[in-house]
Amino acid sequence: MVNFLKATKIDKTTEADILAAAKKVFIARGMYGARMQDIADEAGINKALLHYYFKNKEQLFEQIFMDAAAQLFPRINMIFTSDNSLFEKIESFCEEYITVVQENPYLPLFVLNEMNRDPVYFIKKLWQKHSGPDPRKFLEQIEAEVKKGNIRHVSPLHLLMNLLSMTIFPFMARPMFQQFVGLDEMQFRMAMEQRKKEIPAFIINAMKR
Amino acid sequence: MVNFLKATKIDKTTEADILAAAKKVFIARGMYGARMQDIADEAGINKALLHYYFKNKEQLFEQIFMDAAAQLFPRINMIFTSDNSLFEKIESFCEEYITVVQENPYLPLFVLNEMNRDPVYFIKKLWQKHSGPDPRKFLEQIEAEVKKGNIRHVSPLHLLMNLLSMTIFPFMARPMFQQFVGLDEMQFRMAMEQRKKEIPAFIINAMKR
DNA sequence: GTCTATAATTTGATAGAC
DNA sequence: GTCTATCAAATTATAGAC
């Protein structure tokens, strides 16, 4: 019987609380730095109940990591699969990606960090969940533009690296950039907002012939 | 009396062994993930002796972190302080930085990761050791080039971010890029080698008017 | 489902012999 | 300076009552 009169929270709500708490703690401190006690505290429950919902730390972590990765990778895949023109892809990617990461600024560092810990394992897990991105279309598209004479010769691989680097890296290196140039939180946020237009403009200029 | 006949290694050698082992383990697993036992094993000694040389884990870590940071930050500062032309700076920075990171590919992720754990603490420690980089000269130099009409208008901050991003990020995201495009270790290494020229060319094209 | 209490394990650190 | 043995604290995980 469903206990709809119960005062305390029930399963799905508690589970959601735990996942939200775990996300916060894992992303802030990583797999090793995170403490089950901290996650329980953050979720407003105790450790025993935490283990009731998730058998062990590793299992909980994997779910958080996969969710985090799922917020980042499909948007990269978008570059590869969409039917837009090259310039449109670059523009919409910067716009969308920076918007997402502004709201989750620690996601990229978290994901890349854990990926590097055990690349083989995580990539296997990731690619079996979301079908692996296939960059062939994107690479061919660049070659075609070069052939048509619309852009100067650029290496597709390096263009891809440049695009992703300029979009993602500043969030991972925020403390460094803030210190270098003396930006407060608000100024940094504004700079990232500018980059939605700045990066595409930069790339387009670099590709002009 | 110096025991130069002793078969076993003596102090300075052991200390060096420990530091090398600690560097390896800390960079691979971070402050929290690293185990003193692993460091001892890697150095070929036991935990007790490890604590004889370094009072505690934190002190050992700090030394490793500072050494790692010292390999990366002064080379960035080079951009700011040198008297070369803007183009020369960009070219020599890419050349030198990629060379260093090719030999220590996990350093950037390690340093940025630990920096994000406690930005205030680490930045204070860092800046009191090596005098803080001062980007004013570099920023002014860009403004001057714009004014002289040598390059199109570019935001100095964004140019700096673009340069550092394109140079450093691919090493941090190596598993991702390798998977995306299907590169083995050797092919990735070659791609990074190409970037020594590719990045400056890309930037210079983007700045042409 | 949720709690208290506690077991089991890991791990940083120390004591003391050689 | 290096080791064996051990402690003390932290942390994951479980037992069992409600």
Residue ranges of domains in chain A: 8-54, 58-207
Phi/psi for A53 (5° steps) reads -85, -35
Per-residue pLDDT tens digits for A85-124: 999 999 999 999 999 999 999 999 999 999 999 898 888 8
Question: Is residue B152 less than 8 Å (CB to CB) from chain A?
Answer: yes
Fold of A8-54: Arc Repressor Mutant, subunit A (1.10.10)
Superfamily for the B7-54 domain:
Homeodomain-like (1.10.10.60)
Q: Quick one: pLDDT at residue A129?
A: 77
pTM of the full structure: 0.94
User: What percentage of chain B carries pLDDT values higher than 70?
Assistant: 95
The residues close to strand D, meaning Cβ under 7 A, are A 34-37, 47-48, 51, 55-58; B 8-11, 14, 45-49, 52
Between CA B168 and CA B105 the distance in angstroms is 9
B residues 11-30 closer than 8 Å to A (CB): 29-30
Q: Worst-scoring range by mean pLDDT, A63-72, A123-132, B72-81?
A: A123-132
Given this structure, which CATH class describes domain A58-207?
mainly alpha
Section A25-50 average pLDDT: 98
**Cβ atoms of residues A85 and A200 within 8 Å:** no
Helical H segments across B10-56, by residue range: 11-33, 36-43, 47-53
CA B181 remoteness from chain centre: 25
CB atoms within 10 A of CB A150: 14
Position of tokens 């969030």?
A: A171
